[in-house]
Amino acid sequence: MAAEKRFKYVILGGGVAAVSALSTPTDFSRVRGEGVRQTGRQAGELAIISKEQVAPYERPALSKGYLFPHNAARLPGFHTCVGSAGERLLPEWYSDKGIELILSTEIVKADLASKTLASSDGATFTYETLLISTGSSVIKLTDFGVQGAEANNILYLRDIVDADKLVAAMQAKKDGKAVVVGGGYIGLELSAALKTNNFDVTMVYPEPWCMPRLFTAGLANFYEGYYANKGINIVKGTVAVGFDADANGDVTAVKLRNGTVLEADIVIVGVGGRPLINLFKGQVAEEKGGLKTDAFFETSVPGVFAIGDVAAFPLKLYNETRRVEHVDHARKSAEQAVKAIKAKESGESLADFYGDNVGDDVLFGDNDPTAAKPKFGTYWVKDGKVVGVFLEGGSAEENQAIAKVARAQPPVADVDALKTEGLDFAAKV
Ligand SMILES: Cc1cc2nc3c(=O)[nH]c(=O)nc-3n(C[C@H](O)[C@H](O)[C@H](O)COP(=O)(O)OP(=O)(O)OC[C@H]3O[C@@H](n4cnc5c(N)ncnc54)[C@H](O)[C@@H]3O)c2cc1C
């Protein structure tokens, strides 16, 4: 019979966001629970399930220190650190804390109704609260049926297995020719890494300049010039449409749409990623390609949170939903979700902010730090209208009311009256 393991909390994914849920100031690894040991928790309380073979590590190192020609970063040297103290989270750290680190385990089915996850090797895990932190997968040229894209040495970079393949290919094709497909940050970083490893590097991308989503033409001009001075060739305004391979199946050339053929011993493709949310299709609301959450990173299914790359969350400052693929966001979203879980368990509420914090600020409520239950907030008034609201200590209904205020932007005739009315003003909108 297949094994079943029960946990109070399961974090699905062993990447940057997952480990941040354990090492933020809120410290999920010491979240309240019966019988928690001084340094950790009871077995069966918290698990991280990851398909990777190794404990969580700093993913950005893979496109940087991991590829250095000398003194390259290797595990355990870049396992994730706890906060600013710098302690590396080695596997023993998890066991000392009573956290089950379940590695080499890919979840292939998630049933949110029965709170059950099933792995490819037949194990079943149940949870009370789930944090989804499955991150992103790379977009592959084989996904679009690009001719010859399955040849050997056409490589991608997302995890340490990919990075090891890249290192092996660089050793096998020493001092060879490399073509980098894609002009985003992966393309730029890997072109630099290959050049440092003495490859003859050509970058190819369709846009008029690199990193078009972030860089202006002027900014890109500097970086493209800098790369050219280092001897990196840049081919813009075209794409790879096919590949040639030798009798061993190793790539030998990249065919471009503009008719050019580039010789290649290694090809690295960095054309973007997509959030890994397939397991939850049809079970939870989606937006912007990710799992839609509220401001506390809880999805449309109560008790199921989404953090890191997969979360599509409301960015109230701009009144829109965003998905962000950055380490900093992975950390902050994990911290916010853990705070929300802890607050829910202890019946507390969290501070919330909606709209824009511009114009005159009008403080209301009881902000005495010694008060047993402080509840206070601020309205921001601009051009005679409320454009933003912050509330500390409010109930779910009160937070909904202030969210409505920020959306409606009601006019304010008398700022003093607004201060006195406080939350009553929001209730009337
Ligand atoms: C090479 C590279 C360099 C980067 N450099 C930077 C940088 O310099 N600065 C920056 O801000 N950001 C950088 N990023 C982006 C940053 O690493 C991500 O935004 C961040 O890792 C997101 O964290 P996450 O926890 O959401 O996902 P990840 O860190 O990707 O973790 C997801 C985890 O879930 C696991 N998983 C997925 N599906 C399953 C499943 N079904 N079963 C079990 N486990 C599963 C994965 O194996 C992985 O362990 C870089 C990314 C890459 C790939």
For 173-190, the pLDDT digits (tens) are 999 999 999 999 999 999
Question: Can you read off the two tokens belonging to residue 132?
Answer: 């989804």
Selected from 3.40.1410.10, 3.40.50.300, 3.60.21.70, 3.50.50.60, the CATH number assigned to the domain covering 141-271 reads: 3.50.50.60
Ligand 1 binding pocket includes 52 (Cβ within 6 Å): yes
Q: How far apart are the first and last CA of the chain?
A: 58
Ligand 1 binding pocket includes 309 (Cβ within 6 Å): yes
Ligand 1 binding pocket includes 19 (Cβ within 6 Å): no
**Which of 103-112, 148-157, 276-285, 386-395 bottoms out in mean pLDDT, i.e. has the lowest?**
386-395
Q: How far is the CA of 135 from the centre of ligand 1 (A)?
A: 5
pLDDT (average), residues 6-24: 91
Written out in words, the top-level CATH class of the domain with range 352-428 is alpha beta
For 354-395, the pLDDT digits (tens) are 777 788 989 999 888 787 887 888 999 999 999 988 888 888
For 245-289, the pLDDT digits (tens) are 999 999 999 999 999 999 999 999 999 999 999 999 999 999 999
From 280, 327, 328, give the residue whose CB has the most ligand 1 atoms within 8 Å, as the site to mutate.
Answer: 327
Q: Which residue has the higher pLDDT, 316 or 21?
A: 21
Q: How far is the CA of 315 from the centre of ligand 1 (A)?
A: 21
Ligand 1 binding pocket includes 162 (Cβ within 6 Å): no
Kindly list the domain boundaries of the chain, sorted by start residue.
4-136+275-345, 141-271, 352-428
Q: Which residue has the higher pLDDT, 289 or 317?
A: 289
Measured between alpha carbons, how far is residue 70 from residues 61, 65, 196, 266, 272 in Å? 14, 9, 10, 20, 28
Identify the residue whose C-alpha is closest to ligand 1 atom 5.
60
Ligand 1 binding pocket includes 106 (Cβ within 6 Å): yes
The predicted structure's pLDDT at residue 88? 85
CA 381 from chain centre, in angstroms, equals 34
Domains 4-136+275-345 and 352-428 share a fold: no
The predicted structure's pLDDT at residue 375? 86
The predicted structure's pLDDT at residue 83? 60
From 11, 59, 117, 159, give the residue whose CB has the most ligand 1 atoms within 8 Å, as the site to mutate.
Answer: 59
Q: Is residue 38 pLDDT above 80, yes or no? A: no
From 16, 106, 307, give the residue whose CB has the most ligand 1 atoms within 8 Å, as the site to mutate.
Answer: 16
The predicted structure's pLDDT at residue 25? 55
Q: Is residue 40 pLDDT above 70, yes or no? A: no
Identify the residue whose C-alpha is closest to ligand 1 atom 1.
63
The predicted structure's pLDDT at residue 216? 87
Mean pLDDT of the chain: 90
For 181-226, the pLDDT digits (tens) are 999 999 999 999 999 999 999 999 999 999 988 888 988 999 999 9
Give percent of the chain above pLDDT 70: 93
The predicted structure's pLDDT at residue 351? 72
**CATH (residue range 4-136+275-345):** 3.50.50.60
The predicted structure's pLDDT at residue 31? 42
For 42-74, the pLDDT digits (tens) are 668 999 999 999 999 999 999 999 999 999 999
Q: How far is the CA of 60 from the centre of ligand 1 (A)?
A: 8
